[in-house]
Structure 1
Amino acid sequence: MEIKCIAGFASITKDSAASASLYVCALGLPLEKMGDYRFMNRFPGANHFGVWPLSMAAQSCFGQEEWPDHVPEPIATIEFELADAAAVEAAVKEMKERDQEFVHETRIEP
Structure 2
Amino acid sequence: MKIKCIAGFASITKDPEASASLYQKVLGLPLETMDDYRFMDKFPGANHFGVWPLSMAARSCFGQDEWPERVPEPTATIEFELADVAALEAAVQEMKQNGQEFLHEARTEPWGQTIARFMSPEGVLVGLSYAPWLHE
- Normalising by structure 2, we get a TM-score of 0.77
Aligned equivalent of 1:99: 99
CA distance in 1, matches of 2:12, 2:99: 24
The runs of at least 4 consecutive aligned structure 1 residues that moved more than 4 Å come to none
1:41 counterpart = 2:18: no
- Give the C-alpha shift of residue 16 in structure 1: 0.3
Aligned equivalent of 1:22: 22
Letter in 2 for 1:72: P
CA distance in 2, matches of 1:78, 1:46: 11
Instruction: Return 5+ residue gaps in structure 2 as ranges.
Output: 113-136
Q: Residue 60 of structure 2 aligns to a residue in which SS?
A: helix
1:1-80 matches, cutoff 5 A: 1-80=1-80
Letter in 1 for 2:71: V
Q: Deviations over 1:6-39 (max 9, x none)?
A: 1111110000001111111111100011121110
Greater relative contact order structure (CA < 8 Å, 6+ sep): 1
| Percent pairwise identity | 77
- Normalising by structure 1, we get a TM-score of 0.94
CA distance in 1, matches of 2:100, 2:44: 29
Instruction: Return 5+ residue gaps in structure 1 as ranges.
Output: none
Larger strand percent: 2
Aligned equivalent of 2:131: none
